[in-house]
Chains A and B, each alone.
Chain A
Amino acid sequence: MSTTDRLAVLKTYKLFINGAFPRTESGRTLLVEDKKGNPLAHLCHASRKDLRNSVVAARKAAPGWAKRSAYNRTQILYRMAEMLEGKSEEFAAAIASTVPGGKSRASKEVAAAVDRLVAFAGWADKFGQVLGCNNPVAAPFYNFTIAEPMGVVCVVAPAEEPLLGLISLLAPVICAGNTAVVVGSTEHPLATAILGEVCATSDVPAGVINLLTGLRPELLEVMAGHRDVDGISAAGCAKAERTTLELGAAENLKRVTVDSSKGKDWYDLQKMNSPYRIQPFVEMKTIWHPSGA
C-alpha cells in the first residue's frame, strides 16, 4: 500500500474538564466551517451542565493549586509554553483555517501566545513583590499586604486572536494561583479545542484549567449567575453581554473584568505582559504583626 492510500485520521475535538477529555454531556455538536464554507470539524457544543462540572472540578483543584509554590507555578506555565511551541504548526494551521489573514498571521499569533505564557511564567514568583507592600503604621506593628488567589475564575476568550486573546486572559488568572474555566471563541473555537492537549502534557494539575467550546451567549448567563465562581475575565464583549455578566455577578459580588483590547492591542507587550493584569484576580490581605516598638 502506498502512503497515498492511507485513510485520513481526523482528530475528534472534545472538551477538557478535570484533566480529562470528555464529550459534552448534552451530546450536541457544532459544525466548524473553513473560510470557504466547507465543513472542517464537529466540535462539542458545551451545555450549562458542562460549565457546572467544570466549576466543580476547578473548585476542587483550587486549594491545591493555590498551595503550590510560586516557583512551581512558574515551572508549569513555562512547561505550557514549551508544549505550545512544539504544537505551533498545528495551532497555526487550525487558526488559519477559519480566521482571516492566512498562515503567516496565524503563526505570528501562536508565537505571541507562547511568549505571553513565558512572560507570566516569569511573573508567577514575582508579581507578589510588585502588588504587595509593607505599610508604615504608627504603632508597634509590622504591617504588610500580600496578594492571595481569589479561587475560581471564568475566562471568556475574545472572538479575534482566538489563541492569543485566550492565553492573554488565562495566563494572569492561573499565574496568581486561581483555577480557570475557559469558554473559547465561539467563532474560531479550534484553538481552544486543541489547547487541552497542551495542558494535559504540561503538569497542569487536573481541574486547574478547564476548556469549553460552545455558544457564548448560552454560557455567559449561567456563568454570571453561578455563585461558586469568584471572578470573570472577559474580552470582546458586546454591551448586552457585559450587562448580562454584571447583572448576574451582582448576586454574589463576583469580580467582573472586561478587557476592551482589539486587534493590535493583543501584541502590545507593555500593556499585555504587565503584572497589573494579575491584580483583578487576587485578593489583598493585610496582616498586622505585633513587633517591638
Chain B
Amino acid sequence: MPNRTVDKVAVEARAASFKTRSIKKDSKRQGLLMVSSMIDLTTLEGKDSAAKVRALCQKAVQPDASLPHVSPVAAVCVYPRWVSLARELVADSGVKVASVATAFPSGQVDLETKLADVRAAVTAGADEIDMVIHRGAFLSGQLQVVADEIRAVKDACAAAHLKVILETGELETYDNVVRASELAIASGADFIKTSTGKVSPAATMPVTLVMLETIRSHFLATGQMIGMKPAGGISTAKDALHYLVMLKETLGDAWLTPEWFRFGASSLLNDVLLQLHRLESGQYAAHYDVTES
C-alpha cells in the first residue's frame, strides 16, 4: 500500500471553502429534500426503549405529516437488540434497517463475540451493519489484525451492506485517516464512516474530505464505487448542505444519492424540517412544529 500523506493546511482550507456557497430558495429546497432522504436516523443510547424505536421508525417512514413531499429517510440506525422491532415497523416503506455491531462503540471484545453480534443483527433483519474498527490495534501498527477483523465481519454480513466506522476522532492525524480508509476499502467495506458519535470530535468537513478523496483515488484506480457516511456532530441543515457541496465537487453527481452517501444523525432531520417549514410558510417555525424523536 503506498504511503500517502495529507497536506493538513490545504485540506482544511479547501474544506472551509465549501462553506462559502450561497444556497437559497429552490436550490435550498431541493438540497434539503436530498439531505432528508440521505439521513440514517439514529438512536444509540443506553436509554433506548421499544417506545423510542417505535417513534424513531414512525418518523423515518413519514418525517412530517404536514410536509407530505418529504420522502422517508434512508435508514434507521439502532442497536442490535432493536433490529427485529425496527424491521417490523419500517416494513416495506423502503427505509433500511442499519445496526451497529461489533461491540459498538469501543469494539473492545474478541473477534468471536463481534462476529456473533453481527450474525445476530443480520439474522434479525438488518440490511446494513455499521462496524467499528479496532483502533487500539490500528494505532499500534497491527494493521493486519484490523484488516482481518474487517474481512471476517464482511463474511458474517452475508448480503448485508457493511459500513466501517474509523472513529477519526481517535486516529490523531489525517495520514492515519487515509491509511484506515484504504485499509477498510481493501478489506471489503461497502461504506466508510467517520465516527460513532460517542467521541469528540466526530465528523468534521476536513476529515470527510480526506475520506472522500480516498474514495476518489480508489475509484480512479479500480472503477469501484465506495459509499461515505459522515456521522455525529452534523446537526444543522446548513452544515448538511455544505457537506453536499463538498460531495458534489469531490466525487460528482454519481454519489449524490442515498445509495452512496448518508448522514448519521439524530437531530439533523428536525432542523431540515424546520427549514422546509420556513420555505413553505415564509415564517420561522416553532420547536413544537416538529416531533421530538
Which residue numbers of A lie inside 8 Å of B, CB to CB? 52, 55, 59, 222, 225-228, 248, 251-252
In the docked arrangement, what's the CA distance between A55 and B282, Å? 16
Residues from chain B with a CB closer than 8 A to the CB of A222 are: 284
A to B CB contacts below 8 Å, 21 in the list: A52-B284, A55-B284, A59-B287, A222-B284, A225-B282, A225-B283, A225-B284, A226-B283, A226-B284, A227-B283, A227-B284, A227-B285, A227-B286, A227-B289, A228-B284, A228-B285, A228-B286, A228-B287, A248-B283, A251-B283, A252-B286
Cα separation A52 to B283 with both chains bound (whole Å) = 11
Minimum C-beta distance from B63 to chain A (A): 18
Question: Using Cβ atoms and an 8 Å threshold, which residues of chain B touch A252?
Answer: 286
Number of residues from B at the complex interface, CB < 8 A = 7
Chain B 273-293 interface mask (CB, 8 Å, partner A; 1/0): 000000000111111010000
Task: Supply 8 further A-B pairs (C-beta < 8 A) apart from A225-B282, A225-B283, A228-B287.
Answer: A55-B284, A222-B284, A225-B284, A226-B284, A227-B284, A227-B286, A227-B289, A248-B283
Using a CB–CB cutoff of 8 Å, the interface residues on chain B facing chain A are: 282-287, 289
Cα of A226 to Cα of B284 in the assembled complex, Å? 5
The secondary structure that dominates the B interface is: loop
Q: Which residue of chain A has its CB nearest to the CB of B282?
A: A225
Cα(A59)–Cα(B286), bound, Å: 10
Shortest CB distance A165–B (Å): 26
CA distance A96 to B1 in the complex (A): 70
7 nearest A-B pairs in the assembled complex, by CB-CB distance: A227-B286, A225-B283, A228-B286, A226-B284, A227-B285, A228-B287, A52-B284
Max chain A Cβ within 10 angstroms of own Cβ: one of B283, B284, B287: B284
A228 to B286, CA, bound (A): 4
* Chain A neighbourhood of B285, CB < 8 A: 227-228
Contacts of B283 in A (CB 8 A): 225-227, 248, 251
Closest partner residue, chain B, to A51 (CB atom):
B284
Q: Which residue of B lies closest to A251 (CB)?
A: B283
Q: Once bound together, how far apart are the Cα atoms of A222 and B278, in whole Å?
A: 11
Contacts of B286 in A (CB 8 A): 227-228, 252
CB proximity of A65 to chain B, nearest CB, Å: 16
Q: Which residue of A lies closest to B284 (CB)?
A: A226
Least Cβ distance of A90 to chain B in Å? 35
Say how far B22's CB is from chain A's closest CB, in angstroms: 11
Nearest-Cβ distance from residue B16 to partner chain A, whole angstroms:
15
A52: which B residues are within 8 A, CB to CB? 284
On chain A, the residues within 8 Å of B282 by CB distance are 225
Kindly report which residue of chain A lies nearest to residue B278, judged by CB atoms.
A52
Q: Which residue of B lies closest to A55 (CB)?
A: B284
Bound-state CA distance A59–B282 (Å) is: 20
When chains A and B are docked, how far (Å) is the Cα of A198 from the Cα of B286?
Answer: 30
CA distance A59 to B271 in the complex (A): 14
- The CA-CA distance from A222 to B284 in the complex, in Å, is 8
